Amino acid sequence: MSDSRDRLFWRVLVNAATRPLNVLVLAGMAAAAILTTPWVLAAAVPVYGLLIASTIRDPKEADRLAGANQAQLPGGKRSLQGITGGLRTDVIAVLNEERGIKAELDKAPVRPDGVEEAVEALCDELIVNARRASDVDLYLQSVDVAELQRRLAGESRQGRTSQLSADAAAAIQEQLQVIDALGRRRAAFDDEIANLQASLGTIRARLVQARAEAAPPTVGAADVTELRDRMRALASGLQEAYGQNADSSPTPMKGT
């Protein structure tokens, strides 16, 4: 885990741990244990932990924290709205690397042509693609794969004697295949964001090295363009799979 992502993780965790409601519940249970029933203290810690986990997963709380961070994002036109969960943290970590690169370019005696513009364009695209990935996350969270598999088994059995059930089984099977493809491509997108953060960190390190050695930077816009092309290909595949699911026909209902 990078330093920037580490800091973001601890910021979110500390915010949840110090939320007034969570602290109040912990203090109340501790007071009850001291004054009345000592065993209540044993339950206080797991209850407090559940409250922290609930706060971290709360989309409204995440939006509030994101709002505080948005003022620090490079580029006034940018917003993290629509980017949810851990993906939001990963995107901010990448933007922090972008900020570091821009700071180093401002100090560089020789600025490599096109690098700042290429990094900015890459991060602009990252935000757009992260919103689309968040749409996929929301969809995947809304489906019960185990229930779909149960329905598939039932419709498949009945499909031996009913064409309607056979059609329903085929539709459910297709939906499960798309869900699997979405999950795999979504995981690949996460991997690419991690690679993107590491690669931008390397570019920043090379800029620091060049300044320390008073040498021309060994960084070019082509290095960033290659990263952009890779991310664009993954995002395109994710969008294609999501569009396939959105355009698929609903499962036929019996009796219609």
Its sign, for the CA torsion 228, 231, 237, 239, is negative
User: Do 115 and 222 belong to one domain?
Assistant: yes
Q: Which two tokens stand for residue 132?
A: 């689309």
Tokens 């560089």 label which residue? Answer: 108
- Please answer whether residues 100 and 76 qualify as being in contact, where contact means their C-beta atoms are separated by less than 8 angstroms: no
Q: How far apart are CA 87 and CA 177, in angstroms?
A: 24
Residue 72 covered by a domain: no
Enclosing domain of residue 182? 80-247
The fraction of the chain above a pLDDT of 70, given in percent, is 66
Give the separation between CA 93 and CA 99, rounded to whole angstroms.
Answer: 10
- Tens of pLDDT along the chain (256 residues) come to 444 445 555 555 666 566 776 667 666 766 666 767 666 566 656 766 666 666 655 555 555 554 444 434 544 467 888 898 889 999 999 999 999 999 999 988 888 888 899 999 899 989 988 998 999 999 999 999 999 999 999 999 999 999 999 999 999 999 999 999 999 999 999 998 999 999 999 999 999 998 888 888 888 888 888 888 888 887 777 777 666 554 443 343 343 3
Kindly report, residue by residue over 203-239, the tens digit of the pLDDT: 999 999 988 888 888 888 888 888 888 888 877 777 7
User: Do 130 and 98 belong together in one domain?
Assistant: yes
Q: Mind listing the pLDDT tens digit for each residue in 40-58?
A: 566 656 766 666 666 655 5
What pLDDT, on a 0 to 100 scale, did the predictor assign at position 155?
94
Separation between Cα atoms, residue 252 and residue 175, nearest integer Å: 13
Total domains in the fold of the chain: 2
In-domain check, residue 65: no
Cα distance between residue 93 and residue 139, in whole Å: 25
- 16 is written with which tokens? 């949840």
Is the Cα dihedral 29, 33, 36, 37 positive or negative? positive
Query: How much is the pLDDT for 231?
Result: 81
18 shares its domain with 139: no
57, 89, 105 — which closes off a domain?
Answer: 57
Asked if residue 252 is part of any domain, the answer here is no
